[in-house]
Amino acid sequence: NKGKNQIAFFSEKILIGKTRQLDLTELLRESVERGFKDFEVYYQMQVNADTREIKGAEALARWKCEKYGQIPPDQFIPILEESGLIMPVGRWIFEQALDACAHWIKKDPDFVISVNLSYVQLEDAGFIDFMEQAVLNSGVPPANVVVEMTESYIASNINRVEGIFDRIRSFGMKIAMDDFGTGYSSLGILKKIPADIVKIDRIFVRDVQTSHFDLTFIKFIVELCHDVGIEVCLEGVETEDEYEAVKPHDVDFIQGYLFGKPVPENTFEEQNFS
């Protein structure tokens, strides 16, 4: 509609995007083939909202490629998912996280490790078997392991997910519903297939000091969840002022830059267990 020049401009941009994506796919594949070279798992602490004491950590994938430098997971995870590479990488991340946790529970037996699962991993029939075996091999009690799944995946696969939830639970692990509040049917899925933990997305914290709606949303979700026995983790608390604003509303756990950014395993250990 806007004329030839504009069309040419957009298609060129798309072309560059596609080329880079193909390039990244190949670089990721190489990285996997070389024993997950350039991949790393970072850990971000989660704290008890009342006491600020450490409760556990979320494992977060990092990838630094030689050609383009550090690529954020929001960019490389979708490429891993599209190419199927998320299968080996996801298993590797899960094992790395359990390995780290096995050390940390010796110092703090209540330490909980949370790992993100992609929807692609959940489509793999063997993945639950793999998880169970990996947990058994690591010596970490299943109760110290939380798997995080996004609200949007759960919402669009309610029937499949129910069976997956049952298996994960009967093995003794816990389930967290990630990015809560960003989908179209947040409350509906809470009722249909409740998780053990709800992680309220950080978009509700960003403006919490000025937005009456956001604070009310947090308050309301906490009340609702606690009524049915679900714990609440609040993501993205960056400042003391934000912490003060949400503190009266009884969230169970907090994960945010105020308490710690994601850091490599060694750094996490030095900061918390030495």
> Taking the complex as a whole, how short is the minimal distance between the CB of residue 180 and Ca ion, in angstroms?
8
Q: How far is the CB of 251 from Ca ion (least distance, A)?
A: 14
Q: Which is nearer to ligand C2E, 77 or 175 (CB)?
A: 77
Which member of 32, 77, 140, 146 binds ligand C2E (CB under 6 A)? 77
Asked if 53 and 42 touch (Cβ cutoff 8 Å), the reply is no
Map the chain to HEC letters.
Answer: CCCHHHHHHHHHHHHHHHHHHHHHHHHHHHHHHCCCCCEEEEEEEEEECCCCCEEEEEEEEEEEECCCEEECHHHHHHHHHHHCCHHHHHHHHHHHHHHHHHHHHHHCCCCEEEEECCHHHHHCCCHHHHHHHHHHHHCCCHHHEEEEEEHHHHHHCHHHHHHHHHHHHHHCCEEEEEEECCCCCHHHHHHHCCCCEEEECCHHHHCCCCCHHHHHHHHHHHHHHHHCCCEEEEECCCCHHHHHHHHHHCCCEEECCCCCCCEEHHHHHHHHHC
Our CB check for Ca ion shows the closer of 73 and 194 to be 73
Residue 5 CB, shortest distance to Ca ion, in Å, is 37
Total residues interacting with ligand C2E, rule: CB under 6 A:
21
In angstroms, what is the minimal distance from the CB of 81 to Ca ion? Answer: 13
**Smaller CB separation from ligand C2E, 12 or 53:** 53
The residue within the footprint of ligand C2E, chosen from 255, 263, 265, 268 (CB under 6 A), is 255
Segment near ligand C2E (CB under 6 A); pick from 5-13, 66-74, 180-188, 189-197: 66-74
Nearest approach, Cβ of 209 to ligand C2E (angstroms)?
A: 14
Residue 238 near ligand C2E by CB under 6 A: yes
260 binds ligand C2E (CB under 6 A): no
Q: Which two three-digit tokens encode residue 134?
A: 């990996």
Residue 262 in tokens: 């994601």
Of residues 32, 49, 54, 60, which one binds ligand C2E by CB under 6 A?
60
**Given candidates 25, 68, 73, 169, which one binds ligand C2E under the rule CB under 6 A?**
73
| Contacts to ligand C2E from residues 162-181, by CB under 6 A | 178-179
Site for ligand C2E, rule CB under 6 A: 44, 60-61, 72-74, 77, 93, 116, 118, 178-179, 202, 235-238, 255-257, 262
